[in-house]
Amino acid sequence: MRDCEITAVEVRDVRFPTSRNLAGSDAMNEAPDYSAAYVILETDNDLRGYGMTFTIGRGTEIVVAAIHALAPIVKGRRLGDIAADQRGFWRSLTGDSHLRWLGPEKGIVHLATAALVNAVWDLWARAEGKPLWKLVVDMTPEQLVGCIDFRYMTDVLTQEEAVDLLARGQAGKAAREAEISRSGFPAYTTSVGWLGFSDEEVRERCRVAIAQGWTHLKMKVGASLEDDVRRATMIREEIGAERFLMMDANQVWEVAEAVSAIRRLGEFDPWWIEEPTSPDDILGHARIAREVAPIRIATGEHSHNRTMFKQLMQAGGIQVCQLDSCRLGGVNEVLAVLLLAARFDVPVCPHAGGIGLSEYVQHLSVIDYVAISGELQDRVIEYVDELHEHFAAPVQISDGRYVVPETPGYSIEMLPESLEEYAFPEGAAWAGAGVPAR
Amino acid sequence: MRDCEITAVEVRDVRFPTSRNLAGSDAMNEAPDYSAAYVILETDNDLRGYGMTFTIGRGTEIVVAAIHALAPIVKGRRLGDIAADQRGFWRSLTGDSHLRWLGPEKGIVHLATAALVNAVWDLWARAEGKPLWKLVVDMTPEQLVGCIDFRYMTDVLTQEEAVDLLARGQAGKAAREAEISRSGFPAYTTSVGWLGFSDEEVRERCRVAIAQGWTHLKMKVGASLEDDVRRATMIREEIGAERFLMMDANQVWEVAEAVSAIRRLGEFDPWWIEEPTSPDDILGHARIAREVAPIRIATGEHSHNRTMFKQLMQAGGIQVCQLDSCRLGGVNEVLAVLLLAARFDVPVCPHAGGIGLSEYVQHLSVIDYVAISGELQDRVIEYVDELHEHFAAPVQISDGRYVVPETPGYSIEMLPESLEEYAFPEGAAWAGAGVPAR
């Protein structure tokens, strides 16, 4: 590894005016402007590390402030020291006693942690000359486990049990790596069914998606059940019975309301129902899952830490784990959740879309398959065909699958011209537009 | 009510260098500097509203940034309009779709919500010429319930059930109000057992507390079990068997570790054990409570919203509800949790200490007793004898009880000279000191 010292932490507020076309609209998020609190780690050699956390517009400046508050914990450290004690490094960020009060391990301070932690992992992978996923799958079980803070996990998974779990998968690792590098990782598209789209646009997008080879498609539901039924009927007409249709309610239902709505939507054979109610409501998810079985409940994009995922799995409230690469505290905590999911035999289908999330999560799913769960069954990565052009090494999709990335790092470096044009509020994309109204 | 328009939202970063004497030190928070993100609502008449959220030092500037992001939702509104639709007002703050992404309803954005919401309630109470508690207890059941967002609560408590619950308590309200105004609200002290204190200081503080009439005392535990046993032995020697001793672990234990530690500490007859593990671990709390019964588990100062409290109560993981006036999204959500606690028959003993929390929660406990639970049994309010001198109408303690406040408002207005001296970083208290090191 090429060691270096992290000499500076730059932070940018970058926002894309996606609300102008209503892509991304759902029952909870009417008009997001996909945004990033973006981090550049400068070093004392020519290496840089890039990281970001995903936001949806207003308030990105608060996350930027939180990254500035955490930055002194990162600045001045040597990469080699961090790499040698990843667990200690992560705990130094999440365990800062003053900043911990503002979470703990949740909300803005945890989103900020993710941006910094992910930037450090990007830097580390670049220093090793490997894509992030390869850096991780090349670790021994002990090395991988050494990146994880097991605090609050040990009642379901100890460090020793995690090492055993990983050791059992060592034999097939090389074959799985070769296979996935050849075939790519299965994906699904969320581009067809945003709530803001007209019926005509939904039909047209279904046809395009089918032509592109998509077999798994997701629609948004939850604004009104009548409307959901009408739209689901239309989408099923377009995609047929053999393709997989997922439905995403974005947290809008009460628990009992979710049960009755899901039973009604069951006629459209949903492959999963996503975020039926409050992301904090573990017991609510468990009750919904029990009462609508065998329809599977998917959640996780708003589950803020490993303790929440642990309980969702303990309670049976999650049949599809949609961890978020930025909501969790970066790669270290993602690895913890991947291990929990393997322990509970819950398939991981990471949350993506927005900006940067696809770039991130392609690595995480490859790690899960090659080094942790060893399974592809029921695993698909979310994909939205938007905003990838802003990245130096954007995701590539081929025939409905993610092509496994080969560029060193975590694939999150944005182009300098994009950083400039979409800088908020001074970039050209915002000039004259002002801050979008509530 | 004297109506007015909210014409400006001022925000201050105010920090007190409490880490210099190690008051406030516990197993998780070694050296807090008690702080406030403090709000002043200006209006078009001579009324002002004051609110704050409590922090412990670094990062207060992030909460200030979050309050600025939320402020446009408050600025320009008329108090009368807010008062007429408190539920809608609250939802407009917590439901802002862009800012909601940064929570939802948790962490910094929710702490900021609390500061603003509490300031609006302070303004409202002043406009009515009543202390906050009196404003609330004078409401009809329908009016009180109209302040609450029942989203994610209806599986355990609907609006109609809440009205019924409150209606049942209407008969005795006047008598309870007269009684509590005469006798004051029972309290307990946390001033005796901070981890940073020497043995001699702990003994001395026990003696002082007994002389002041305290019957309920709390110590910090969790740094090392041996040390906890030694200190508990010492404190029991000082306070005797007849007084009540509570123990606070501040989240440091794993679930199984908590069970064995609490069993060991059981010999000291703890009245409750507080925050045994992660505040997010509802199922963990439930298991601990089952396995150490009849010792009671107290938690809540880090429970970030009504959905978390709902589940703690559903699961049996909470025998003492220590809601926090700033962690929850202000008075509206506190009322929701008070109703949940009454529904599940869990006594509420609010979190206080820090700065401003005692000033706030005295109102909340009076509301709970007079208008909601109707019970005093097992209800005590936390009290720490510190920093009250900075308030225009500070709490008054008499013989181990809070004297019920009579000044209009929510008691949280700070003295102008305190705001100036402790302004961070420019105030005299910080001049030359610089930002405290991590």
ipTM of the complex: 0.96
Identify whether residues B47 and B193 lie together within a single domain.
no
Q: Is B351 one of the annotated active-site residues of the chain? A: yes
Within the 267-306 window of chain A, which residues sit less than 8 Å (CB to CB) from chain B?
277-284, 287, 302, 304-305
Note whether A28 contacts B110, CB cutoff 8 Å: no
Cα-based angle B8, B11, B12 (whole degrees, multiple of 5): 145
**Which domain CATH number covers A245?**
3.20.20.120
Within the 103-162 window of chain A, which residues sit less than 8 Å (CB to CB) from chain B?
103-111, 151-152, 154-155
Number of Cβ within 10 Å of residue A164's Cβ equals 12
Identify whether residues A93 and A216 lie together within a single domain.
no
Pick the catalytic residue from B130, B310, B351, B363: B351
Average confidence (pLDDT) over A60-67: 98
- For residue A77, list chain B residues with Cβ-Cβ distance below 8 A: none
Collapse the DSSP code of B163 into the 3-class scheme (helix H, G, I; strand E, B; otherwise coil) and give the result.
helix
Non-local CB neighbours of B106 within 8 Å, separated by 6+ positions? A106, A107, A280, A304, B304, B305
The answer, for A22 touching chain B at a CB cutoff of 8 Å, is no
CB burial of residue A121 (10 Å; 0-12, 13-18, 19+): buried
Q: Which of A57, A61, A254 sits opposite B154 (nearest CB)?
A: A254
User: From the CA of A251, how many Å to the nearest CA of chain B?
Assistant: 9
Identify whether residues A311 and A402 lie together within a single domain.
yes
Q: A344-376, pLDDT tens digit by residue?
A: 999 999 999 999 999 999 999 999 999 999 999
Note whether B62 contacts A58, CB cutoff 8 Å: no
pLDDT at residue number A436: 52
pLDDT at residue number B223: 86
Cα-based angle A172, A128, A370 (whole degrees, multiple of 5): 20
Note whether A254 contacts B58, CB cutoff 8 Å: no
The domain in which residue A75 lies consists of 6-130
- Residue A433 — very low, low, confident or very high, per pLDDT cuts 50/70/90? low
Tokens 């940073």 -> residue: B196
- Residue A120 — very low, low, confident or very high, per pLDDT cuts 50/70/90? very high
B331 falls within a domain:
yes
Tokens 């939180």 -> residue: A66
Q: B43-92, pLDDT tens digit by residue?
A: 999 999 999 999 999 999 999 999 999 999 999 999 999 999 999 999 99
Q: Which of A55, A104, A282 sits opposite B102 (nearest CB)?
A: A55
pLDDT at residue number B357: 98
B423 falls within a domain:
no
Portion of chain B with pLDDT greater than 90, in percent:
91
Paired strand residues for A246: A218
Identify whether residues B178 and B265 lie together within a single domain.
yes
Identify whether residues B120 and B188 lie together within a single domain.
no
What does DSSP assign to residue B176? H
Average confidence (pLDDT) over B207-231: 93
Q: Can you point out the beta strands (E) in B224-301?
A: 244-248, 270-274, 297-299
Pick the catalytic residue from B110, B218, B220, B390: B220
Identify whether residues A190 and A243 lie together within a single domain.
yes
User: From the CA of B152, how many Å to the nearest CA of chain A?
Assistant: 5
Non-local CB neighbours of A102 within 8 Å, separated by 6+ positions? A108, A109, B55, B59, B62, B63, B107, B108, B111
Within the 315-334 window of chain B, which residues sit less than 8 Å (CB to CB) from chain A?
315
Within the 344-383 window of chain B, which residues sit less than 8 Å (CB to CB) from chain A?
none
Note whether A282 contacts B284, CB cutoff 8 Å: no
* CA distances to A72, A120, A123, A412 from A43, in Å: 14, 11, 9, 17
The answer to whether A321 and A289 have CB atoms below 8 angstroms apart is: no
Residue of B246, B35, B360 whose CA lies nearest to A69: B35
B338 falls within a domain:
yes
Alpha carbon distance A33, B400 (integer Å) = 53
Q: Find, in chain B, the residue whose alpha carbon is nearest to that of A66.
A: B62
Give the dihedral sign, CA A142/A145/A151/A152.
negative
Average confidence (pLDDT) over A4-15: 98
Q: Determine the distance from the C-alpha atom of residue A388 to the mean position of all C-alpha atoms in its chain, rounded to a whole number.
A: 15
Q: What is the mean pLDDT of chain A?
A: 95
Q: Which of A65, A102, A255 sits opposite B111 (nearest CB)?
A: A102
User: From the CA of B55, how many Å to the nearest CA of chain A?
Assistant: 7
Non-local CB neighbours of A391 within 8 Å, separated by 6+ positions? A356, A359, A411, A412, A413, A414, A415
Within the 31-50 window of chain B, which residues sit less than 8 Å (CB to CB) from chain A?
31-33
Note whether A98 contacts B32, CB cutoff 8 Å: yes
Identify whether residues A264 and A411 lie together within a single domain.
yes
Average confidence (pLDDT) over A172-195: 92
Size of interface A-B (CB pairs under 8 A): 189
Identify whether residues A409 and A271 lie together within a single domain.
yes
Residue type, B41: L
Alpha carbon distance A243, A239 (integer Å) = 6
- Residue B437 — very low, low, confident or very high, per pLDDT cuts 50/70/90? very low
Average confidence (pLDDT) over B279-288: 98
Residue type, B135: L
- For residue B30, list chain A residues with Cβ-Cβ distance below 8 A: 97
Identify whether residues B28 and B113 lie together within a single domain.
yes
For chain B, how many structural domains are there in total?
2
Which strand (E) or helix (H) includes residue B257? helix B255-265
Note whether B281 contacts A251, CB cutoff 8 Å: no
B266 falls within a domain:
yes
- For residue B97, list chain A residues with Cβ-Cβ distance below 8 A: 28-32, 56
**Which domain CATH number covers A31?**
3.30.390.10
Q: Evaluate if residue B284 carries a pLDDT over 70.
A: yes
B437 falls within a domain:
no
Identify whether residues B285 and B396 lie together within a single domain.
yes
Q: Which of A61, A108, A307 sits opposite B280 (nearest CB)?
A: A307
Identify whether residues B205 and B110 lie together within a single domain.
no
Q: B79-131, pLDDT tens digit by residue?
A: 999 999 999 999 999 999 999 999 999 999 999 999 999 999 999 999 999 99
User: From the CA of A48, how many Å to the nearest CA of chain B?
Assistant: 26
Q: Evaluate if residue B194 carries a pLDDT over 80.
A: no
Q: What is the pTM of this model?
A: 0.97
Note whether B109 contacts A62, CB cutoff 8 Å: yes
- Residue A190 — very low, low, confident or very high, per pLDDT cuts 50/70/90? confident
Q: Evaluate if residue B438 carries a pLDDT over 70.
A: no
pLDDT at residue number B433: 65
Within the 207-246 window of chain B, which residues sit less than 8 Å (CB to CB) from chain A?
none
A61, A68, A283, A287: best mutation site toward chain B, by most B Cβ within 10 Å? Answer: A283
Q: Evaluate if residue A424 carries a pLDDT over 80.
A: yes
Q: Evaluate if residue A242 carries a pLDDT over 50.
A: yes
- Residue B35 — very low, low, confident or very high, per pLDDT cuts 50/70/90? very high
Q: What is the mean pLDDT of chain B?
A: 95
Alpha carbon distance A391, B428 (integer Å) = 47
Note whether B59 contacts A254, CB cutoff 8 Å: no
A153 falls within a domain:
no
A150 falls within a domain:
no
Q: Evaluate if residue B28 carries a pLDDT over 80.
A: no
Last residue of a domain, one of B130, B156, B182: B130
Identify whether residues A245 and A334 lie together within a single domain.
yes
Note whether B97 contacts A30, CB cutoff 8 Å: yes
Q: Find, in chain A, the residue whose alpha carbon is nearest to that of B283.
A: A311
Average confidence (pLDDT) over B173-202: 91
Average confidence (pLDDT) over A259-271: 98
A403 falls within a domain:
yes
